[in-house]
Amino acid sequence: MTIETPPSDPGSGAEVNENAIELKEVEGLSQGQIVFRRFIRHRGAIGGLFAIASVAVLAYTSIGVGPVPGWWKFNHFSPNDVINPGGTPTLGVPTWLGGSGFAIGDAPFGQDEIGRDIFARTMKGVQTSLNVMFIIGALSAFFGIIIGAVSGFYRGWVDQLLMRFTDLIITFPVLVIGAVLGKLAGSGGTIWLAVVLGAIAWTGLARLVRGDFLSLREREFVDAARVAGASNFRIIRKHMLPNAMGVIIVNTTLLMSAAVLLEAALSFLGFGVRAPDVSLGLMISQYQSAFSTRPWLFWWPGLFIIIIALSINFIGDGLRDAFDPRQKRVPSARAMEKASRRDAAAGV
Amino acid sequence: MIMFFVRRLLTSSLVVLVSTLFMYVMVDLAIDPLEDLRLSTAPNKQQLIDSRIALLSLNDPVLVRYFDWLGGVGSCFVGDCQLGTNWRTGQTVTSMLSGAVLTTLQLITFSTVVAILLGIMVGIVSALRQYTGFDYSITFVSFLLYSLPIFWVAVLLKQFGAIEFNTFLADPAIPTWFYVGSIVLVGVTLMAAVGGPLVTRMKVFGFAALATFAALFYIDRTQWLADPGLGIVVVAVSAVAWAFVVTTLSTGIGDRRSLYASLTVAGIGIALYYPMQYAWYYLDESWPLILGLGALAVFVGVVVGHLWGGPDRWRNARTAALTAIPVSFLLFIDQLMSSWATYTSSGLIKGRPIATFGSRTPNFDMGFWLNTLDLFTHLVLPTLTLILISFAAYTRYSRGSMLEVLNQDYIRTARAKGLTERTVVMRHAFRNALIPLASIVPVDIITLVGGAVITETIFSWFGMGRLFVQALGGNVIDPVMAYLLIVAILAVVANFVADLVYAVLDPRIRVNA
């Protein structure tokens, strides 16, 4: 009598488990995973991400959004009693830096001439900037991708028409068109302003996406997909777009940082966000003549604009380095000498 | 070639035409000329509204008004421009424009030149020292400058660069922290830029620190800021130093003929120091004369280079001509500085020379040198503001472009052939790195004429940007349309020039029609 072990079929539990661990070790990384790992190592980008996350959390929770209240006791529009004479900030510097002892106080950023809390107004301005930034980024990415992809993929007269249309918009400096459109739309609130600005900011992205698609469309995988019977839309969406993602993501983040500065500049000139809405640029414009006597009205909004724009720039740079396949990190001459000295000392 | 021009001209005109139509409709929607009348409480309000509607033909449809305006623009081709009037002040747009364009050109010329030169230089050095501390700090600084809101910086400069600095000038004693700060800054920057082994860097740091300290000490002790002037010694030393620097970059110190040609030009400049001061009494000073003298200096440099002979005269000529530029600039600056004391103590200036408002001191007219000083002191702050942002952009572009070039095979070949680092960088890498920049620089320069809006608003320079902002804010359509027309024309001209320059510089691109 022979004992026959039942033949194991490929789908049985034990064999799959054994191979699964080995397979996972040699499994290839997806593009997203590679990019993520390289991004994490870029210290500037992670610093920027941390900074903007903290600023966003602070801004949205301190005075609340819409119907949800915040934890800060003042809001951005009602006048309060003046705490320090002249509205000077109650923020205390620690004694070892020469101040009166660390304290936040009721009005750490000071108050303006009618008693409105500057901290609340700055946070509201930061909210405006962040909202405008995200809306402009999303809209520009949307329009830029569609126009660039269609233009680059189909070529011919569609390409010519769309590119001439893009050139029409590029002809003018963004500040100029933004000023005209801002005057048109500014009185309708910040969201409408952001929508209108997003409708003109996509041109750079469209050109880059078009360039990418022009070269991608000659690649073999596009031919392979077409031979397999894919429709044009499927080829664009499933095959070409993921390959162009690097360019799109990097340029959208850089565009967002430019959008923050653009909105601040337009509000400064009077063509962007209008009173009673609060914007950082508007605050700087209102208080610029008070700089010598009440500098706190002026420093904090500017500082927050810089923090937001700088963080987004660093994130964009980190993303660009993460997506760039040609990056070779060659050790500097000093590092090489140090390593060779270490090897010599170890007797290698 | 002619076909290329003609075709480009036709398409550009079409683009400009369509964009003006576009913008006219948008501006008409955006502005409301009756805005201030709607809020007025005058008893004859309705009459005022009606008369303004009749004046501006506001009841006509937009397209009719557009073609009316276009007809006015068309008459420019027959020599009689009718771009409309500013109905609030009665001034014709053409007279507003001529003043505005000139003012803006004055504002942007100097800042553009300095930003390009400095930005490209720093960007290239940064690319050559990739991954070092110098590279990281320059990248961080350029990011920071890129993220600065220009209006915030301008207000800060007004406070610290003008008001505080003017107060400082009244009693110029340099504080200790400035000594320490500038020595550290200059020393560390030069040390990092030069690179190389530790000993060389330490020597460079020591030398730079000593030079900075000596200069600051001299400025402090002799109250130089009250009555500046370069004097023949400083001019001589600087001219010789410039000759060496230019020769090193252009052909390398080893090329003796070029070196001697540059030194000859420097010597000519030094010899002309005293004669020029007499000459200014007899010459009728004006800007064309100054620029003409500069061109003459370059010509003299070319001639001197040729006279030194040798196997390649044009190399000597190029080096000598390039040296002539900083040397003649030194002489000009020295002459300008000698009028500084008179300027500062004059009645209208009263010891506060750095200005924050406008492009001239009103009612100030005391001769060419003092007027030029007046213009320069009004230019200082806006130029600094414009330079800060442009510098960051140019550093980024040139660094990226240089990095791409340095990774190419021909650079590796050049190094493998045994060429000196200077030859590899200046003759091969530098020229190729400049090509992509050549397509960006013309566009940047030409579009800056319409783009310095914020700087002009803050410093109250009545240039193109200010014209636009005031007209748009005052709901006056004609100046706005004139501004947009000029910006559109300049943009297409800039793109055309960029394409042409790119085609000329890069032999791989053939301008095919």
- A45 chain-B contacts, CB cut-off 8 A: none
Q: Does A269 touch chain B (CB under 8 A)?
A: yes
- A164 chain-B contacts, CB cut-off 8 A: 15
Contact call for B149 and A305, based on CB within 8 A: yes
pLDDT tens track for A299-324: 888 999 999 999 999 998 888 888 87
Residue B347: the pLDDT is: 79
CA B179 to mean position of chain CA atoms: 29
**Burial bucket for residue B504 (CB in 10 Å: 0-12, 13-18, 19+):** exposed
Candidates A122, A161, A175, A176, partner chain B, best to mutate (most B CBs within 10 A): A176
Q: How far is A238 from chain B (nearest CA, A)?
A: 31
Percent of chain A residues past pLDDT 70, beyond the cut: 88
Supply the pTM of this predicted model: 0.82
A54 band by pLDDT with thresholds 50, 70 and 90: very high
Residue B298: the pLDDT is: 92
A324-333, B198-207, B273-282, B373-382, range with the lowest pLDDT: A324-333
pLDDT tens track for B97-109: 888 888 888 888 8
The phi-psi region of residue A343 (left if phi > 0; otherwise alpha if psi is between -120 and 50; otherwise beta) is: alpha
Q: How far is A143 from chain B (nearest CA, A)?
A: 19
**Burial bucket for residue B8 (CB in 10 Å: 0-12, 13-18, 19+):** middle
Q: Does A58 touch chain B (CB under 8 A)?
A: no
Taking alpha carbons only, the member of B391, B357, B386 closest to residue B374 is B357
Q: What is the mean pLDDT of chain B?
A: 85
- A187, A206 contact by CB (below 8 A): no
pLDDT tens track for B287-344: 888 889 899 999 999 999 889 888 888 888 989 999 999 999 988 888 888 888 888 8
Residue B513: the pLDDT is: 38
Residue A99: the pLDDT is: 67
**Residue of chain B with shortest Cα separation from A258:** B147
Residues 6+ positions from A301 with CB-CB distance below 8 Å: A122, A125, A280, A281, A283, A284
- B159 chain-A contacts, CB cut-off 8 A: 291-292
Tell me what the mean pLDDT of segment A85-104 comes to: 70
Query: Residue A2 pLDDT > 70, yes or no?
Result: no
Contact call for A171 and B15, based on CB within 8 A: yes
Taking alpha carbons only, the member of B329, B327, B332 closest to residue B266 is B327
Query: Residue A11 pLDDT > 70, yes or no?
Result: no
Candidates B14, B151, B390, B485, partner chain A, best to mutate (most A CBs within 10 A): B151
Q: Does A173 touch chain B (CB under 8 A)?
A: yes
Query: Residue A236 pLDDT > 70, yes or no?
Result: yes
Contact call for A291 and B159, based on CB within 8 A: yes
Q: How far apart are CA A303 and CA A307, in angstroms?
A: 6
Contact call for B143 and A317, based on CB within 8 A: yes
Taking alpha carbons only, the member of A109, A67, A122, A76 closest to residue A276 is A76
Taking alpha carbons only, the member of A124, A113, A112 closest to residue A72 is A124
Q: What angle do CA B145, B149, B151 make, to 5 degrees?
A: 120
Tell me what the mean pLDDT of segment B428-435 comes to: 88
Query: Residue A144 pLDDT > 90, yes or no?
Result: yes
Contact call for A284 and B488, based on CB within 8 A: no
Residue B503: the pLDDT is: 78
pLDDT tens track for A171-220: 777 888 888 888 877 677 788 888 888 888 898 899 889 988 988 888 89
ipTM value of the model? 0.80
Q: Does A211 touch chain B (CB under 8 A)?
A: no
How many helices (H) and strands (E) are present in chain B, helices listed first? Answer: 23, 0
Percent of chain B residues past pLDDT 70, beyond the cut: 99
Closest partner CB to A175 (pick from B30, B144, B453): B453
Closest partner CB to B151 (pick from A168, A284, A330): A284
For residues A87 and B386, which has the higher predicted lDDT (pLDDT)? B386
Contact call for A184 and B468, based on CB within 8 A: no
**Residue of chain B with shortest Cα separation from A335:** B132
- A306 chain-B contacts, CB cut-off 8 A: 144, 147-149, 152
Candidates B12, B21, B130, B147, partner chain A, best to mutate (most A CBs within 10 A): B147
Q: How far is B486 from chain A (nearest CA, A)?
A: 10
Residues 6+ positions from B510 with CB-CB distance below 8 Å: B503
Q: How far apart are CA A53 and CA A39, in angstroms?
A: 16
**Residue of chain A with shortest Cα separation from B21:** A168
Closest partner CB to B472 (pick from A183, A284, A292): A183
How many other C-beta atoms can be found within 10 angstroms of the C-beta atom of residue A276?
7
Residue B140: the pLDDT is: 87
Q: How far is B212 from chain A (nearest CA, A)?
A: 28
pLDDT tens track for B252-275: 888 888 899 999 999 999 998 888
Contact call for B131 and A167, based on CB within 8 A: no
Q: What angle do CA B424, B434, A311 make, to 5 degrees?
A: 105
Tokens of A56: 């966003």
- B27 chain-A contacts, CB cut-off 8 A: 180
Tell me what the mean pLDDT of segment B4-10 comes to: 84
Q: How far apart are CA B248 and CA B259, in angstroms?
A: 8
A225 band by pLDDT with thresholds 50, 70 and 90: very high
Query: Residue B173 pLDDT > 90, yes or no?
Result: no
- A309 chain-B contacts, CB cut-off 8 A: 146-149
Residue type present at position A98 = G
Query: Residue B33 pLDDT > 50, yes or no?
Result: yes
Closest partner CB to A257 (pick from B147, B454, B472): B147
Contacts across the A-B interface (CB distance below 8 Å) = 117
- A313 chain-B contacts, CB cut-off 8 A: 143, 146-147
Q: How far apart are CA A72 and CA A124, in angstroms?
A: 12
Closest partner CB to B15 (pick from A167, A288, A329): A167
Q: How far is B81 from chain A (nearest CA, A)?
A: 23
DSSP category for residue A4: P
Q: Does A184 touch chain B (CB under 8 A)?
A: yes
Q: What is the mean pLDDT of chain A?
A: 83
**Residue of chain B with shortest Cα separation from A267:** B151
- A180 chain-B contacts, CB cut-off 8 A: 23, 26-27, 30, 472, 480
Residues 6+ positions from A173 with CB-CB distance below 8 Å: B447, B450, B451, B453, B487
Q: Does A326 touch chain B (CB under 8 A)?
A: yes
- A119, A72 contact by CB (below 8 A): yes
List beta partners, residue A68. A65
pLDDT tens track for B47-99: 888 888 888 888 888 888 899 888 888 888 887 777 888 888 888 888 888 88
- A285 chain-B contacts, CB cut-off 8 A: 151
Query: For the stretch A227-258, what's the b/e string if a residue is b when 16 or more beta carbons lie within 10 angstroms of its beta carbon?
Result: eeebeeeebbeebbbebbebbbbbbbbbbbbb
Q: How far apart are CA A250 and CA A313, in angstroms?
A: 10
- B149 chain-A contacts, CB cut-off 8 A: 261, 264-265, 268, 281, 284, 302, 305-306, 309
Closest partner CB to A310 (pick from B23, B147, B152): B147
Contact call for A171 and B150, based on CB within 8 A: no
- B239, B266 contact by CB (below 8 A): yes
Query: Residue A5 pLDDT > 80, yes or no?
Result: no
Residue B325: the pLDDT is: 92
